[in-house]
Amino acid sequence: MNSASANLDSKSALEIARIVNREDAKVAAAVSRALPQIARAIDLIADALSQGGRLIYVGTGTSGRIAALDAVECPPTFDVDQRLVQFIIAGGNKALAAAVEADEDSRELGRREIAKKKPTSKDVVVGIAASGRTPFTVAALEYARAYGAKTVAVVCNRKSALGKVAHVEIVAEVGAEVVAGSTRMKAGTAQKMILNMLSTGAMARLGYVYGNLMVNVRPKNEKLAERGVRILENATGLGRRTARRLLADAQNRVPVALVMAKAGVSRVDADAALRKAQGQVRLAIRRSKATY
């Protein structure tokens, strides 16, 4: 029980907000203590993706929804194939909108769902569970590891069943929740922070960002088109009008435009350099400069 939130139901709205905010402030510190393990997991994931493997998240309830959020946001953020980062949630996609809690206790369902993904030694499977003992998630990780996949546990308790199955155990000890047992709160926040680091860290290591710019954005609507222009302005120092023209010349592909500007090459050459560099903008620029 959390003594800081005792008698929560008798507090004013501002008092409740202050209590939750003070407890939330503890989450970042808890995550920071796990940074060495997070870094190890990033390296595992980057290595797997560079060799044609996948990152597969597994979770139930809140953990599964957070996993789904991270997975589905990778393609629009980094312009990667949607198969590269996947998720499994107990109860399937219907569990994203409604609780399907009974499935959490089924080891058989956990094995069945991960088996559909056919995990191999090229993949990394990340199990997320605040308690670290959810049968569905533990069984899925056991199955994946048995088939050669690297495994990572994201938990909030030490010496958990899920942690014992994993090659890398990431523990964020956030302490008791404001509402006892409501792991959608501090535990969920910690999980979101950690998954942000795992996917962003791996994609950065693989060159899917340039500096800290989201260069692989696809300008499919007005907002994203404007973002693409701003990225070119920031990365090249070009004026807005010139950046717009450059993006148009690059057929609205920001990475191509960036290589064209930085290396002084044509669209065709920039496109070829990016293909050879497997989409890594910095590498494509360096190789293009060396050639020309």
Write b or e for each residue in 240-272: b if 16 or more Cβ atoms lie within 10 A of its Cβ, otherwise e. Answer: eeebbebbeebeebbbbbbbbbbbebebebbbe
Q: Which of 104, 113, 169, 177 is catalytic?
A: 104
Is-catalytic flag, 73? yes
Distance between CA atoms of residues 156 and 171, nearest Å:
5
Distance between CA atoms of residues 210 and 228, nearest Å:
13
Is-catalytic flag, 15? no
Q: Which of 15, 23, 73, 101 is catalytic?
A: 73
DSSP E strand boundaries for the chain: 55-59, 85-89, 124-128, 150-155, 168-171
**Amino acid symbol at 58:** V
* Residue 291, number of CB atoms within 10 A of its CB: 10
Distance between CA atoms of residues 292 and 285, nearest Å:
10
In terms of Cα–Cα distance, which of 255, 248, 246 is closest to 273? 255
Which residues are catalytically annotated?
73, 104
